[in-house]
Amino acid sequence: MDSTGKQISYDRSYNPNPDWTYWDNTSRNAFFELKQKLSETWSANLSYNYNEKDRKSQLLYYYGYPNADGSGISLTPSGFLENNKLHTADLNLQGKFDLFNREHEAIIGYTFSNSHQNDHAKNGTLHDSNINYANNVPYTTDWASWTPNNVTWSDFSQTADYTQRNQSVYAATRLHLNDDLKVTLGANYVKAKSEGTSYDAPMVYDESKVSPYAGITYNFTPEYTGYMSYTSIFRPQTAVDEKTGKVADPIKGKSYELGFKSSWLDNKLTGTLAVFRTEENNYPLRPTDSHPLNRTSAISDLRSQGVEVGLAGQLTDQVNVSLGYTQFSLQDLKNGGAARTYNPTQSFNLLTTYSPTQLPKLKVGAGVKWQSKITRFDPSFNTYLKQSDYALLNLMASYDLSPNLSIQANANNVTDKKYLNSFTDGQAFYGAPANYTVAFRFKY
């Protein structure tokens, strides 16, 4: 928005960032899996995964509402070094057992994870002539036609150093009560511990809880199956409660789902219908998660609910289809009103492909993605940033050159629709314009 409260529309190619800004990401991953067969029906499984992520960046943050002459925007140069090392291991026994003349399934296991976060940051100072300082805050005189290049940096200082350890013991069984009725019962004991600090805030907690879950499926006919599920939610967090200055209590809640699955045409085509509801307590809100003028608590209780419909599979020997529709709402129960209005409440996806009988190696397809409008309230002007509902059209074609080699061409956002992806954390990003790719695929 500009200084009058009018929403600004930029050219998608416009980038005000200077050449010295960058954001580099590096990820390293190693894993192994071992499986030992103990009998005809039981096996022991051991897995380990190591993941390390490094992020190095020099960024320029823009704040404020530009005036017509380009002034009024404050600038903050910042640099970051972030490193996370995550070790995860899982050991489980799974297999089948007989009870009441029927065969059932069971699993019991233990999971351990250890994550260490080590971050550093530095501050920059701008010295360009186009900068005016007010209360030690640098403001540009014309941000739309100028980029700052004269910047000096402080040394890096540590901002975060904390370790999180999670241990979990879990067990579940799937009972085949008869040919059509199956019941799943399980529980997960979690012990979570965190030590350290992040930006001078304590990242300390020591929590544990048993979370049960259950599900039931019933085959009404060979083509139609109904199901219900219940899951208890327990998720320790590192968000800081503004009222206490300490780590907020774990997120706790419940999740329910009721649905139907169906299959037709010899299982070539499947359909799904589901309704769901999730309730979570002690949820940390972003500044943009709810109406800021109505907010009385930054740690709130949320309730999400909705419906999903899907259809996927082969309509004919030549035509395949994938269709999905979701309607979703998220309510802030403490502050009132909708939360995360920067996410769409409705979305629809449709993809169809066709292989001509005369050219079975050729496949052509078209897809449509649609979502409802998104908004974010701006308290400075008592108004909303908006992105109206929009649809994207994508096209594809592929051809099998051999049993092992194929070529595929994709055209995305064919109509070159201009749209904003989201307003999360007060930031908005334009979606990709029309783009085209060609790829060769080799399989062996």
Whether 15 maps to a domain, the answer reads: no
Q: Which two tokens stand for residue 305?
A: 């609910």
Q: In whole angstroms, what is the distance from residue 383 CA to residue 389 CA? A: 18
| Amino acid of residue 442 | F
CATH number for position 74? 2.40.170.20
Co-location of 399 and 314 in the same domain: no
Residue by residue, pLDDT tens for the chain (444 residues) are 899 999 988 899 888 888 999 999 999 999 999 999 999 999 999 999 999 999 999 999 988 899 988 888 898 999 999 999 999 999 999 999 999 999 999 999 999 999 999 999 999 998 887 888 887 788 888 877 777 888 999 999 999 999 999 999 999 999 999 999 999 999 999 999 999 999 988 889 999 999 999 999 999 999 999 999 999 999 988 777 777 777 888 999 999 999 999 999 999 999 999 999 999 999 888 776 766 656 667 888 999 999 999 999 999 999 999 999 999 999 999 888 888 888 999 999 999 999 999 999 999 999 999 999 999 888 888 888 899 999 999 999 999 999 999 999 999 999 999 999 888 777 788 999 999 999 999 988
| Amino acid of residue 403 | P
Co-location of 244 and 369 in the same domain: no
Whether 11 maps to a domain, the answer reads: no
Q: In whole angstroms, what is the distance from residue 395 CA to residue 333 CA? A: 42
Question: How many Cα atoms sit within 13 Å of 22 on the Cβ side?
Answer: 7
Co-location of 326 and 188 in the same domain: yes
DSSP labels, 264-298:
ETTTTEEEEEEEEEEEEEEEEPPTTSS-GGG-S-S
Whether 169 maps to a domain, the answer reads: yes
Q: Using the 3D structure, point to which of 285, 304, 339 is the last residue of a domain.
A: 339
Domain interval for residue 402: 341-443
Co-location of 320 and 429 in the same domain: no
**What residues are paired with 126 via a beta bridge?**
151
Q: Using the 3D structure, point to which of 296, 323, 339 is the last residue of a domain.
A: 339
Q: Which two tokens stand for residue 371?
A: 């979502």
Cβ neighbours for 308, distance < 8 A, ≥ 6 positions apart? 259, 272, 273, 274, 275, 276, 324, 325, 326
Whether 17 maps to a domain, the answer reads: no
Co-location of 176 and 196 in the same domain: yes
Co-location of 317 and 199 in the same domain: yes
Whether 62 maps to a domain, the answer reads: yes
Whether 12 maps to a domain, the answer reads: no
| Amino acid of residue 210 | V
* pTM, two decimal places: 0.87
Co-location of 201 and 59 in the same domain: yes
Distances (CA, A) of 12 to 147, 416, 430, 433: 17, 11, 7, 8
Co-location of 238 and 225 in the same domain: yes
| φ/ψ (deg, to 5) at 221 | -145, 175
User: What is the distance of C-alpha 157 from the center of its chain?
Assistant: 30
User: What is the distance of C-alpha 203 from the center of its chain?
Assistant: 23
Co-location of 246 and 358 in the same domain: no
Whether 4 maps to a domain, the answer reads: no
Q: Are 251 and 281 in contact (CB under 8 A)?
A: yes
Whether 390 maps to a domain, the answer reads: yes
Q: Which two tokens stand for residue 288?
A: 């943009």
User: What is the distance of C-alpha 308 from the center of its chain?
Assistant: 18
Q: Using the 3D structure, point to which of 317, 339, 361 is the last residue of a domain.
A: 339
Co-location of 335 and 348 in the same domain: no
Co-location of 312 and 384 in the same domain: no
Q: Which two tokens stand for residue 168?
A: 């979990």
Domains contained in the chain, number: 2
DSSP labels, 295-360:
-S-SEEEEEEEEEEEEEEEESSSSEEEEEEEEEEEEEETTT-SBS-TTS-SEEEEEEEEE--SS-T
Co-location of 334 and 349 in the same domain: no
